[in-house]
């Protein structure tokens, strides 16, 4: 029987919302499957809304890293989905927008890189999630900016790995809580402070 607390840990929910949506889109970027439009409602409902919800819950726990990460990446998925919705409805035109989209993705890579620095005080599982996500954003961004389709495909492959790492981390946190012990390893703290909150 797991130890009962007054507040559940929202991180596994946010991680799986991010990870599952990332895997599906990355399979498209890697040219394994098609029909990108299928990802749009998933990005809104699961990748976007669920992460925003997890971020709000992290705020209630006083977790500065969690609230910043989950609300930001939830907003990222909303941005990605709205680009497709607005383009499809004719509200905006994405003609010639590849360089701007490329820079947007690179900026997300920069944000993810400084969030990765924070994971040195958390655990190795999150360290790997944020490292691979940083590189994924850079590859996708440079692919758009330079018109290099191969970089985008490579970003798709790395994105699959990133999403699976996030899902594993979520799985580990859920299973470890359910069994009230370390069933799946998430790794110790790479370096830094002694508290995950704040």
pLDDT in tens, the chain (198 residues): 555 566 799 999 999 999 999 999 999 999 999 999 999 999 999 999 999 999 999 999 999 999 999 999 999 999 999 999 999 999 999 999 999 999 999 999 999 999 999 999 999 999 999 999 999 999 999 999 999 999 999 999 999 999 999 999 999 999 999 999 999 999 999 985 544 433
Taking the C-alpha atoms of residue 107 and residue 78, their distance in angstroms, rounded to an integer, is 16
Residue in the structure block whose two tokens are 């590189």? 135
User: How much is the pLDDT for 4?
Assistant: 58
Sequence-distant (6+) residues with CB within 8 A of 195 are none
Q: Which residues contact 95 (CB under 8 A, 6 or more apart)?
A: none
pTM of the model: 0.92
What is d(CA 117, CA 134) in angstroms, rounded to the nearest whole number?
11
Q: What is the pLDDT of residue 34?
A: 92
**What are the domain boundaries of the chain?**
11-178
pLDDT of residue 196: 40
DSSP assignment of 5-60 equals -SS---HHHHHHHHHHHHHHHHHHHTTS---GGGHHHHIIIIIIIIHHHHHHHHHH
User: Quick check: 81 and 44 in contact, CB under 8 A?
Assistant: yes
């Amino acid at each position: 029987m797991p130890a009962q607390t007054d507040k559940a840990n929202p991180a596994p929910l946010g991680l799986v919302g991010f990870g599952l949506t990332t895997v599906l889109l990355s399979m498209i970027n890697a040219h394994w499957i098609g029909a990108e439009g299928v990802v749009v409602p998933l990005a809104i409902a699961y990748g976007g809304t669920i992460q925003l919800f997890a971020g709000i819950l992290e705020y209630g726990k006083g977790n500065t890293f969690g609230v910043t990460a989950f609300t930001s990446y939830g907003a990222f998925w909303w941005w990605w989905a709205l680009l497709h919705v607005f383009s499809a409805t004719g509200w905006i035109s994405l003609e010639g927008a590849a360089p701007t989209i490329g820079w947007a993705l690179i900026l997300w890579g920069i944000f993810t890189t400084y969030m990765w620095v924070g994971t040195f005080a958390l655990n190795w599982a999150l360290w790997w999630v944020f490292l691979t996500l940083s590189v994924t954003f850079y590859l996708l961004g440079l692919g758009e900016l330079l018109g290099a389709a191969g970089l985008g495909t490579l970003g798709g492959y790395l994105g699959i790995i990133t999403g699976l790492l996030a899902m594993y981390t979520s799985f580990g946190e859920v299973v470890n809580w359910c069994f009230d012990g370390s069933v799946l390893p998430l790794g110790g703290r790479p370096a830094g402070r002694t508290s995950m909150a704040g």
